[in-house]
Every structure is written in structure tokens, then in C-alpha cells.
Amino acid sequence: MPEIALLTTSFSSVWEIIFSYLLLIKAIFLQFWILIIPFLLVNPLKFLLVKCVNIAWDSDPIRKRVLLEIKIPQKVERPLRAMENVFNSMWGTYDPPGSWKEKYYEGKSLLGFSMEIAGIDGVPHMFIRMPSNNRKLIESAIYSQYPEVELVEVPDYTKDVPQNIPNKEWDLWGFDCQLLKDWVYPIKTYEQFFEERPEMSEEIKRVDTLSSLFETISKMKKGENLWIQIFAMPYGTDEVDYVKKAQGVVDKLVKRPERTKGRTLIEDFWTLLTTGEVPQEKKEEPGFLPPEMKLTSGERDVVTAIEKKASKICYLSFIRFMYVAKRNIWFQGAKGFGISFFSQFAARNLNGVKPLKKTITKVQAPDIFTERRKYVRKRDLIDKYRRRDPSCDPFDLPGATFLLSSEELATLFHFPSQEVAPSASFRRVEIKKGAPPSELPVE
């Protein structure tokens, strides 16, 4: 029993010491708690500061957004690789802030552009929206690969519908997209959409991913609208070192051993002091085959696809789908149009596109103020579409933005030929343009 009494006494003494320290910490916290607030608010305040100065900088008239409609000729003879070259050239708009003064004081930020496919009253249209100061560069990038295409400045088509949707006459349904996996894994690209029939020409062999979308739009009635928005902002390794991240993913897939760091003298001394053994460097035993040779054919395809994406120019992107229509002609099955279109780009061993749950214009549990919450979500979605802004709540929503390569963007948005997208409702340029004659007099 004396041992129990001694143990109880020791425990009481320890608890008294701990309790006294807790009282001291409480007293310090009550005196100086206000000093903790700036450290907790530094990131939100920094975010709001950047947003405010960005709005002021972006409102300059030289950065006014212009919307160009793309009028496509009957026959597009250029391969899809030409569209990838267009996006490679558009990356020339990359102009990040060079100093803290430009970022936090002047408000300079990266500018992007939006590629949009709109089905309006059963007629497909293709648009590109950009800052006016980047217009010449983007037009030159398109005309250099597609000289027959016409770019015409038009009013914003989103203003042709009421600005207070949803209302008694109009309703909408839509969502933002996210990737199934990390953006390091690419989606299916145009090189994978070919038929293995050697007797067919290269143009006919290609299965165009936009043909089903244009055919769906052609079945719509007057008062129905289907909008798809693909925003792209040039990104470099200064913002995200995607090459290094891709290499880390590849190393894990290949199961490549990590490089061991050298031991310091302090670590060696501590090991000798605690164990009495002299530390020695661990030597890795070389295997009979390198890790790359142990991969299956499917694993090798995944590694190749990741390395291929990392080798290309990438854009920070977001994708949005919306169906806007009058209530008296509302088609409930239109909710599946977007999911069906984006499912073409999914590969089980790579990546795919799916709706971002927090942006879908439906509300599930808890079943509280359901109609009001649904209304707010719809208004937020269409406002974001009109402003071409990513989803935020209020900070950037995880999964709403991701990196897409120029090859992936060319797969999602390109100029289809009539042979692969024979939609009768798609308006095309009837006259083929050519170069002016060399003998034409010039003043």
C-alpha cells in the first residue's frame, strides 16, 4: 500500500504542475488573443486584396472582352493537329505579373479566353471570347492554320435570354465539370478517335466528337438553348511546375526507388550514441530488370500518356454546361445531353470529365429551403457563365479548375468538316476564300 500512496502523491504533484501551466496559458491567451487574429486573416485578406485590385485593372477599356463568331467553310481539309497548333500559338498571350508591385498594387493578372459552343433555337454556333488587346494574336493564330474560316464580332448571345432566369417563363439546368482523377492524367484525345479501316480516307476515318453534339442541337425547338463553355488561361511552370508533378506520378507508377538523402554528422553521432553502432550507408541492390521493364502494356500506356501531356503547353481551364429553355417546351431529358457529350472523353485507365457536385442545379439533403437554394444555385451558375468566371465559394472551389494540354483542348473544341459532322442546321461559309492575285495593283 505505501507504493500506491507514493504513486498517488506523485500523480497529484504532476497534475498540479500541468494545471498551473494550463492556467498560465489561459492567462496569456486572454491577454494577447487579439494578436492571433491577423495571422488567421492574412490569407483571406490577401485573397480579397488581389481580387479587388484585379477588378480595377481588368476594367481598363483596352482589356474589354469581345465575342467573335466562327464561321466554318463546307470542307475543312486541315487535320486536328492544326487546331492543336492554334492553341500552341494562343499561348503567346501568356503575360504574368513580373513583380509584387504589378500583382498586389497594379492588379495585373493572367488573361484567358473562352471557347463556346451554343445551340440557339436549334442552330449550332461556335464562338471565342477574348480580351481586345489579345484579339490580333488570337485571330492570327486561327487564320494561320484555317485561312478559310471567318471571324465576325457579334453581340453576346447570353443577353438574348432574360437576365433574371429562372423565372415564370424560363428555366435552366447545368453544372461545372471536374476531372475524374488528378489533372496529370489526360483525357482521351483526338488521336484515339479513329476507325481502323485502311480502305477509308483519313478524313472519313476520323470520328468527330462534335458530330453528336451538333446533331442533338439540330433537334431542338425555338426557345431552347444549349451552351458549352470551355475557358483556357495560359499557364507556365512558374505557376505550377506540372512537369515535375507529372514526373513524381510517373515515378510512383513505375515504382522507381526514391533517392536517399545524405546523412548529416549530427544524425550519425546520435545513432552512435543511442545504439552504439557505427552508421553505414545503405546500398541499393540493383535488380535484374529496371522498373520500367516490369510494367504491363496498360501501365506503360498510362505512363506514356502522362509524359506526353507534361511535354505539351498547358492551360488552366474550366468547363461549364447549361440548358436554358422556356418552361412550355422544357425537355426533361436534356439534362443528359452534357453528361453524354463529355462521356466520350473518358478512359478508365486515364481520366474523364464529370459534373462537379456542388455546382449541379439540384439540391439534395438536407431538405430545408430546397426551392430557394435551387434558385440561388441557378442564378449563380448563369451569372458565372455570363461573366466567364470559375466557380468559387467564395474562394476557388476545389476541382472546378484544372490543367488541360493543347491537345486536350483541340479535342474538345475544333472546327469540324461537313464529312465528319454533317449537321444540316450548322451554318457554314459557302464561298471559299483564296489569296489575291499577284498582279493586283497596290497603291
Q: In this structure, is residue 270 part of a structural domain? A: no
pLDDT at 267: 67
Backbone torsions φ then ψ of 61, nearest 5 degrees: -60, -25
Under a CB-based contact definition with an 8 Å cutoff, are residues 131 and 111 in contact? yes
Looking at the structure, do residues 307 and 370 belong to the same domain, yes or no? yes
Under a CB-based contact definition with an 8 Å cutoff, are residues 438 and 172 in contact? no
pLDDT at 443: 47
- Beta partners for 258? none
Under a CB-based contact definition with an 8 Å cutoff, are residues 347 and 361 in contact? no
Under a CB-based contact definition with an 8 Å cutoff, are residues 210 and 414 in contact? yes
pLDDT < 70: residue spans in the chain: 1-14, 194-206, 257-294, 365, 393-394, 418-443
Looking at the structure, do residues 357 and 216 belong to the same domain, yes or no? yes
Looking at the structure, do residues 6 and 86 belong to the same domain, yes or no? no
User: pLDDT by residue (tens digit) across 50-91?
Assistant: 888 888 888 888 889 999 999 888 777 788 888 999 999 999
Here the cell at position 123 is 442552330
User: pLDDT by residue (tens digit) across 385-436?
Assistant: 999 988 876 677 888 899 999 999 999 998 887 665 565 556 666 555 555 5
Distances 62 to 53, 65, 131, 133, 387 between C-alpha atoms, Å: 16, 9, 8, 6, 17
Cell numbers 553505414 label which residue? Answer: 280
Q: In this structure, is residue 346 part of a structural domain? A: yes
Q: Residue 244, Cα to own-chain centre: how many angstroms? A: 19
Q: Residue 201, Cα to own-chain centre: how many angstroms? A: 34
The DSSP letter of residue 104 is: I
Looking at the structure, do residues 110 and 220 belong to the same domain, yes or no? yes
pLDDT at 301: 85
Looking at the structure, do residues 170 and 309 belong to the same domain, yes or no? yes
Provide Rg for the chain, Cα atoms.
29
Q: In this structure, is residue 255 part of a structural domain? A: no
Looking at the structure, do residues 25 and 140 belong to the same domain, yes or no? no
Looking at the structure, do residues 144 and 20 belong to the same domain, yes or no? no
Q: In this structure, is residue 361 part of a structural domain? A: yes
Number of H helices, E strands in the chain: 13, 10
User: Could you give the count of Cα atoms lying within 13 Å of 207 in the half-sphere of its Cβ?
Assistant: 12
Looking at the structure, do residues 221 and 364 belong to the same domain, yes or no? yes
Please give the helix or strand (H or E) that residue 179 lies within, else none. strand 170-179
- The residue range of the domain holding 8 is 2-35
User: Could you give the count of Cα atoms lying within 13 Å of 358 in the half-sphere of its Cβ?
Assistant: 11
Looking at the structure, do residues 152 and 86 belong to the same domain, yes or no? yes
Cell numbers 466528337 label which residue? Answer: 209
Please give the helix or strand (H or E) that residue 67 lies within, else none. strand 65-73
For the purposes of burial, counting CB atoms within 10 Å of the CB of 183, is it exposed (0-12), middle (13-18) or buried (19 or more)? buried
Alpha-carbon distance 180 to 187, whole Å?
9
Q: In this structure, is residue 290 part of a structural domain? A: no
Q: In this structure, is residue 89 part of a structural domain? A: yes
Cell numbers 522498373 label which residue? Answer: 291
Burial 188-219 (b: 16+ CB within 10 A, else e): bbbeebeeeeeeeeeeeebebbbbbbbbbbee
Three-class secondary structure of residue 6 per DSSP: helix
Cell numbers 477509308 label which residue? Answer: 200
Q: In this structure, is residue 156 part of a structural domain? A: yes
Cell numbers 430545408 label which residue? Answer: 368
Here the cell at position 188 is 482521351
The DSSP letter of residue 199 is: T
Alpha-carbon distance 351 to 441, whole Å?
55
Number of structural domains in the chain: 2
290: preceding bond cis by omega (within 30 degrees):
no
The DSSP letter of residue 285 is: P
Which pTM value belongs to this model?
Answer: 0.81
Looking at the structure, do residues 8 and 131 belong to the same domain, yes or no? no
Q: In this structure, is residue 437 part of a structural domain? A: no
Under a CB-based contact definition with an 8 Å cutoff, are residues 178 and 165 in contact? no
Three-class secondary structure of residue 350 per DSSP: coil
pLDDT at 70: 92
Looking at the structure, do residues 22 and 84 belong to the same domain, yes or no? no
- β-pairing, 314-326 vs 224-235, is antiparallel
